[in-house]
Amino acid sequence: MNVFIYIMLFIMGTFFGSFFTLAVYRIPLGKDITHERSFCPTCNHKLGAWDLIPVWSYLFLKGKCRYCGEKVRIRYFILEILSGIVFVIAYVSYNIQNVLLEPNKLAIFIAFVMMYVTLILVAGIDKEYRKINASVLGFGVICQSIYMLYLCMIEKENDSIYRYTMYFASFILVFIVFKVRQKNKSNYPLQVGLLFTYILCVIDWKASLMIVLFSFLDLIIWKCVSKKQKLPWGFVMSLCTIVYVIVENGIKFWMI
Ligand SMILES: [Zn+2]
């Protein structure tokens, strides 16, 4: 039974991974991410159902477009596999025995998936376009608010309601300033600030400060190792947060 669930989760993760590729490309261009069919960016040929199956289509077509033979970037394939693995690891680390009998744990898992979606999109868009997308962060905060409301309803974590209310308030404040100053081109630090307030909403403030520190160290190490390309802050901070949440839960799981 467990193996079956793991396989299903892995497949679900790969579909999310495939969606990220499309969303990172389309969101900054203001294109529809749900209705419009995918197409090859080189030959513009619309992709068929067989071309859209994650992992499999890459392997089957040997990493090339079926219609024009142009190479498909391997990072798409890696992102699909990684997302599959992340879904399985998250499920195991939240120690969910039976999804149907444990709605609380299911809610935690869904909240994790929503955080993962938000941060991967932020990371991907920042890497490609050097900007942190406020709408994606807004979506993330709405998901997190619903999750917090659920926790309040089942009378858990009541002590942290005030703390989270404060974080959400600071997010909204930075969001408003962000929207007002959007016409100003040099607002990248403000975008990083908005991302930081989002991270505050999903993990506690000590961990959030640690993420900033780790991101800073990562950027320094990257600068020494590679002279090719500078990594943007939002990209590094988002990935650090995902790794932190997975590792933190993994440690909790193994300690029990
Ligand atoms: Zn093509």
- Mind listing the pLDDT tens digit for each residue in 5-31? 899 999 999 999 989 988 888 888 888
Using the mean position of ligand 1's atoms as its centre, give its distance from the Cα of residue 36 in Å: 17
Q: Which two tokens stand for residue 217?
A: 């160290």
Using the mean position of ligand 1's atoms as its centre, give its distance from the Cα of residue 69 in Å: 6
**Mean pLDDT, rounded, for 228-234:** 85
Task: Please report where in the chains the tokens 């930081």 appear, as a residue.
Answer: 196
**Mean pLDDT, rounded, for 173-187:** 75
What's the confidence (pLDDT) of residue 114?
94
Higher pLDDT, 93 or 216: 216
Q: Which of 178, 182, 181 lies closest to 195 in space, CA to CA?
A: 178
Q: Which of 199, 175, 173 lies closest to 119 in space, CA to CA?
A: 199
Using the mean position of ligand 1's atoms as its centre, give its distance from the Cα of residue 13 in Å: 25
Distance CA 138, CA 195 (A): 10
- Confidence (pTM): 0.88
What's the confidence (pLDDT) of residue 158?
61
What's the confidence (pLDDT) of residue 189?
87
What is the percent of the chain with per-residue pLDDT over 70, rounded to a whole number?
Answer: 93
pLDDT exceeds 80 at position 180: no
Using the mean position of ligand 1's atoms as its centre, give its distance from the Cα of residue 73 in Å: 12
Ion ligand 1: residues, CB < 5 A: 40, 42-43, 65, 67-68, 70
Specify which of 73-77, 176-180, 181-185, 224-228 reaches the highest per-range mean pLDDT: 73-77
Q: Which of 177, 169, 170, 192 lies closest to 122 in space, CA to CA?
A: 192
> What average pLDDT is seen over the chain?
86
Q: Which of 208, 104, 117 lies closest to 147 in space, CA to CA?
A: 104
What's the confidence (pLDDT) of residue 121?
95
For residue 160, the 8-state DSSP code is G
| pLDDT digit string, tens, across residues 114-148 | 999 999 999 999 998 888 988 899 999 999 888 88
What's the confidence (pLDDT) of residue 83?
95
Using the mean position of ligand 1's atoms as its centre, give its distance from the Cα of residue 129 in Å: 23
Using the mean position of ligand 1's atoms as its centre, give its distance from the Cα of residue 68 in Å: 4
What's the confidence (pLDDT) of residue 74?
87
Distance CA 44, CA 80 (A): 22
**DSSP codes, 164-207:** HHHHHHHHHHHHHHHHHTTTSS--HHHHHHHHHHHHHHHS-HHH
Q: Which two tokens stand for residue 35?
A: 């209705």
Using the mean position of ligand 1's atoms as its centre, give its distance from the Cα of residue 108 in Å: 40
Using the mean position of ligand 1's atoms as its centre, give its distance from the Cα of residue 44 in Å: 6
Distance CA 227, CA 221 (A): 11
Backbone torsion region of residue 155, taken as left when φ is above 0, otherwise alpha when ψ lies between -120 and 50, otherwise beta = left
Using the mean position of ligand 1's atoms as its centre, give its distance from the Cα of residue 47 in Å: 9
Using the mean position of ligand 1's atoms as its centre, give its distance from the Cα of residue 254 in Å: 46
174 neighbors 192 (Cβ within 8 angstroms): no
